[in-house]
Amino acid sequence: MGDSLQQSGGYHFMTRAFLRLAVCCLALPSGILSAQDASPGPVQATPRVVPALTPVRIEILEAQGSAISKPDAHFPIRLVDPVLLDGKTIIPAGATGEGEVVHAKKSSMSGGPGELILAARWLDVNGHQVRLRSMHLSENGKSSIKDVNRIMIASAATVPVAAMLGWFMKGKEVVVPSGTYAEAKLAADFSVEP
């Protein structure tokens, strides 16, 4: 009889221990994975970064001039050459963006020449605006203009997003035809998800 009581007590002990274990398992948060499900997921690749001041060549798509442009007006630009990183295209040629007329003034009656300051502002890359800076107009490719009297590069310390700007003088007015090439730089690092 003593043996049957010990067995009966052991049975109840085991039943209670099993029930406690079952309740504990049900109370576990659903986020806990079994050992079989805990295999490592795909390795996260590090983003690729195009560094700030990477040079880009853009095309001004709309004629600008001291007699026709208005300050704060925007004009379309397009990336001429792709931006590459380790031999892979990060920003494709043809990406469009926007430039801005920072300053425009017609020539004066007293013979003073017209003034025009343009800045490249950004390129659109998959819905993300990649800011630009340090624009200056080129004299190569489509932008070769034979009757430019002088080209000046001016630092615009009062305009924080446009450090270097270009001036084209033609007679008394400044004229930048459509199709003019300009050099600019990325204003900040551009991170690309792999």
Residue 172: helix, strand or coil by DSSP?
coil
What is the Cα–Cα distance from 165 to 161, expressed in whole angstroms?
11
102, 22: one domain: no
Give the residue numbers spanning the domain of 17.
1-31
Spans of the chain below 70 pLDDT: 1-43, 139-171, 194
* Domain match, 27 and 82 both: no
In sequence order, what are the beta bridge partners of 155? 164
Q: Do 7 and 72 lie in a common domain?
A: no
* Number of independent structural domains in the chain: 2
* 20 and 58 assigned to the same domain: no
- From residue 69, alpha-carbon distances to 50, 117, 126 in Å are 33, 10, 29
Distance in angstroms (rounded) separating the CA atoms of residues 167 and 77:
17
Q: Indicate the residue type of 170.
A: K
Query: In this predicted structure, what is the pLDDT of residue 161?
Result: 33
Residue 113: inside a domain = yes
Count Cα neighbours of 84 within 13 Å in the Cβ-side half-sphere. 4
The predicted structure's pLDDT at residue 25: 55
What is the CATH number for 74?
A: 2.40.128.260
Residues 127 and 164 in one domain: yes
pLDDT at position 95 is 98
74: how many CB neighbours lie within 10 A of its CB? 12
Structural domain contains residue 36: no
Other Cβ atoms closer than 10 A to 157: 7
Q: Evaluate whether residue 38 is within a structural domain.
A: no
95: closest CA among 73, 123, 61? 123
Rounded distance, CA 73 to CA 105, Å?
13
Per-residue pLDDT, 8: 53
Are 73 and 2 members of one domain?
Answer: no
- 39 domain residue, yes or no: no
pLDDT of residue 138: 76
